[in-house]
Amino acid sequence: MKGALTVRNLTRRFRVGGGFLRRSSWLTAVDDVSFDIPAGTTFGLVGESGCGKSTLGRCLLQLDVADAGTITLDEVELSGLKKRELFDLRKRMQVIFQDPYASLSPRRTIAQTLLEPLETHEVGDAQSRLARVVELLKLVGLRESVLHRYPHEFSGGQRQRVGIARALALRPDFIVADEAVSALDVSVQSQVLNLLRDIQQQQGLSYLFISHDLAVVQHISDHVGVMYLGQLVEVGAADAVFWSPKHPYTEALLNAVPVADPKHKRANTALQGDVPSPLQKPTGCPFHTRCPKVMAKCSVDVPQLGAVDASDTTHLVRCHLYTP
Ligand code: SF4
């Protein structure tokens, strides 16, 4: 199996503002993030809008250049690759976008859309490319008869299937799915999630699944990272994070997920206030301005990501409640 990804101390900062007699400031969108995605597994990344999830995904795909840290795909260190090496790498790393309508050109037929990556990377001859396109349509549950149709002739779910087929065209090892089902109806979401899972089992590729929707992430992930203001605040196996959350932010996010059973009562830990501006991060623990369990030292001391207990070094949390 291929597609093992290792991320260490990844940081991405942006210069904001500045101008005549005005000082610019720095916004840290991704702050010292480390995690692993074993080959053939899915890492779900959750957090509120603007927490840095998509910037992290773009850095992994080398669509954005990180300021510090390393990204390794199956022993290949990605930073510093030459242009040609990066072009070849793009075959192995693909993306599925949130809005299938916006990500497909309205002027191109489905055949043209799916042939494009194969032609760009000069894969096979014209006949084998067409055969691959037909194979891809079958893989995502669409008929060959749709080849000469345009995106506007499809439903949202069908368009996202085309987006998935395009991402799979070059047989990638790793896919970033950035809010890939957020624009779809709930009934269609589960179909697309099951499709992604089936393809993973058939082809052994790995996913970074970015979403603000915890129910969706729980459905598809093997491991989960919870992000707040550019930092991972909790990381672990999906079952451990969803059934035994440790960080107060993870608890609050989970308690906000609606439950179908009226007898099942969630704890009332609704988050107070808005997410602070990343340009003026709170001191100490960045979550202390909204945390229901805040302590005196939380506004002063910066918590580090560490194991919840010595018996499980895979479940990590960034919170003073768990530091000696
Ligand atoms: Fe809350 Fe303090 Fe833990 Fe931050 S360190 S999450 S403020 S208890």
Q: What pLDDT score was predicted for residue 265?
A: 62
Sign of CA dihedral 151, 195, 1, 235: positive
User: What's the CA-to-centroid distance between 27 and ligand 1, angstroms?
Assistant: 22
Atom number in ligand 1 closest to CA 298:
2
User: What's the CA-to-centroid distance between 64 and ligand 1, angstroms?
Assistant: 31
Among the listed residues 108, 166, 112, 117, the one whose alpha carbon sits nearest the alpha carbon of residue 137:
166
**Probe ligand 1: pick from 249, 250, 294, max atoms within 8 Å of CB?**
294
The pTM assigned to this predicted structure is 0.91
Tell me what percent of the chain is helix, strand and coil, each rounded to the nearest 5. 35, 25, 40
Domain boundaries, given as residue ranges, for the chain? 5-259+266-322
Mean pLDDT of the chain: 90
Q: What pLDDT score was predicted for residue 278?
A: 84
Rounded to whole angstroms, how far apart are CA atoms 226 and 80? 28
Q: What pLDDT score was predicted for residue 266?
A: 61
Q: What percent of the chain has pLDDT over 70?
A: 95
User: What's the CA-to-centroid distance between 322 and ligand 1, angstroms?
Assistant: 9
**Residues 6+ away with beta carbon under 8 Å from 56:** 10, 12, 30, 33, 45, 210, 227
* pLDDT digits 0-9 by tens, 164-203: 999 999 999 999 999 888 877 888 888 889 889 999 999 9
**Residues 6+ away with beta carbon under 8 Å from 287:** 228, 229, 233, 247, 248, 249
* pLDDT digits 0-9 by tens, 99-143: 777 888 999 999 999 999 999 999 999 999 999 999 999 999 999
Atom number in ligand 1 closest to CA 322:
3
Is residue 281 over pLDDT 70?
Answer: yes
**Probe ligand 1: pick from 246, 272, 275, 298, max atoms within 8 Å of CB?**
298
* pLDDT digits 0-9 by tens, 36-76: 999 999 999 999 888 999 999 999 999 999 999 999 999 89
Domain at 5-259+266-322: CATH code: 3.40.50.300
Q: Ligand 1 site: residues with CB under 6 angstroms?
A: 247-248, 285, 287-288, 291, 293-295, 298, 303, 319-321
Pairing mode of beta strands 42-46, 223-228: parallel
Average pLDDT over residues 303-308: 94
* pLDDT digits 0-9 by tens, 251-279: 999 987 766 666 666 666 667 777 888 88
Q: Residue 142's beta-bridge partner residues?
A: none
Among the listed residues 101, 94, 95, the one whose alpha carbon sits nearest the alpha carbon of residue 184:
101
Q: What pLDDT score was predicted for residue 261?
A: 65
Atom number in ligand 1 closest to CA 320:
5
- Atom 3 (ligand 1) nearest CA: 319
